[in-house]
């Protein structure tokens, strides 16, 4: 696969693609995935998960889980995000995803411009989810997994619209925070959540 000056053939055939989802939301974990695709079972239609319909993502996720040589999910919880910041939590989730692989890749390619600390060779690829099929696959299964979790959390914490916006700071979500308050799954280090907490403290005092 080539796009501009990018040439995937410069990398070893046995590579793991890594991507994460959930940096922007006000609630829920950040989830990363690592995928090693099987060249004997190519998967058609891999692309950046954000550019695919929900139905197409679900279909591709099932194919990836069935036909990839290996895949793994990693995550960092809300408490970790608040403690070490979202960037470090995202890198931690990526580390955990790679650690869960049952096959050892020759190199790990990560979407973006920052690499997690690994014992394996690793390289960051800007817009990698559009350039590297294994990163596209990782973005798909990470997003499908996190979206499903947010739908389940919507039933546990009704009224916030989590099944609709998946925890992102939509107007519905911010308004619900102001009305219903902060839950254990909200990221207290994020400004909209922090403001609600501070306002509640002001009201009490």
Q: How, if at all, do strands 2-3 and 6-7 pair?
A: antiparallel
Do 125 and 198 fall within a single domain?
A: no
Tell me what pLDDT residue 2 has. Answer: 43
Do 62 and 105 fall within a single domain?
A: yes
Task: Identify the domain containing residue 194 by its residue range.
Answer: 159-204
Q: What is the pLDDT along the chain (205 residues), one digit of tens a residue?
A: 444 467 888 898 899 999 999 999 999 999 999 999 999 999 999 999 989 999 999 999 999 999 999 999 999 999 999 999 999 999 999 999 999 999 999 999 999 999 999 999 999 999 999 999 999 999 999 999 999 999 999 999 999 999 999 999 999 999 999 999 999 999 999 999 999 999 877 665 5
Do 80 and 122 fall within a single domain?
A: yes
Do 173 and 138 fall within a single domain?
A: no
- Which residues share a beta bridge with 85? none
Do 146 and 164 fall within a single domain?
A: no
Do 138 and 166 fall within a single domain?
A: no
Do 130 and 47 contact (CB within 8 A), yes or no?
yes
Closest by alpha carbon to 116, among 134, 139, 98, 136? 98
Q: How far is Cα 107 from Cα 134, in angstroms, rounded to an integer? A: 12
Closest by alpha carbon to 137, among 75, 40, 52, 23? 52
Instruction: Give pTM, 2 decimals.
Output: 0.93
Tell me what pLDDT residue 5 has. Answer: 63
- For residue range 104-131, what is the model confidence (pLDDT) as tens digits? 999 999 999 999 999 999 999 999 999 9
Do 86 and 179 fall within a single domain?
A: no
Last residue of a domain, one of 138, 155, 172: 155
- Rounded mean pLDDT of the chain? 94
Sequential DSSP letters for 187-198: -TTSHHHHHHHH
Do 52 and 112 fall within a single domain?
A: yes
Number of helical (H) and strand (E) elements in the chain, helices listed first: 8, 7
How many structural domains comprise the chain? 2
Do 122 and 166 fall within a single domain?
A: no
Residue 31: helix, strand or coil by DSSP?
strand
Q: How far is Cα 148 from Cα 182, in angstroms, rounded to an integer? A: 21
Q: How far is Cα 117 from Cα 94, in angstroms, rounded to an integer? A: 9
**Neighbour tally for 156: CB within 10 Å:** 10
Do 118 and 187 fall within a single domain?
A: no
Do 181 and 137 fall within a single domain?
A: no
Do 92 and 168 fall within a single domain?
A: no
Element (H, E) at 17: strand 15-21
């Amino acid at each position: 696969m080539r796009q501009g000056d990018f040439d995937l053939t410069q990398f070893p055939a046995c590579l793991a693609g890594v991507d994460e989802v959930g940096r922007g939301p006000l609630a829920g974990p950040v989830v990363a995935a690592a995928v090693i695709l099987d060249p004997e079972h190519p998967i058609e239609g891999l692309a950046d998960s954000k550019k695919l319909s929900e139905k197409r993502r679900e279909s591709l996720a099932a194919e990836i889980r069935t036909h990839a040589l290996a895949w793994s999910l990693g995550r960092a919880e809300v408490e970790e995000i608040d403690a070490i910041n979202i960037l470090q939590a995202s890198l931690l989730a990526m580390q955990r995803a790679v650690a869960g692989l049952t096959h050892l890749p020759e190199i790990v390619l990560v979407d973006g411009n920052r690499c997690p600390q690994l014992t394996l060779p690793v390289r960051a690829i800007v817009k990698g989810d559009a350039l590297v099929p294994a990163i596209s696959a990782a973005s798909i299964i990470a997003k499908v997994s996190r979206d499903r979790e947010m739908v389940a959390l919507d039933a546990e914490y009704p009224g916030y619209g989590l099944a609709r916006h998946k925890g992102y700071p939509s107007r519905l979500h911010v308004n619900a925070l102001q009305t219903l308050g902060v839950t254990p799954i909200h990221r207290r280090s994020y400004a909209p959540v922090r403001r609600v907490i501070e306002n509640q403290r002001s009201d009490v005092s």
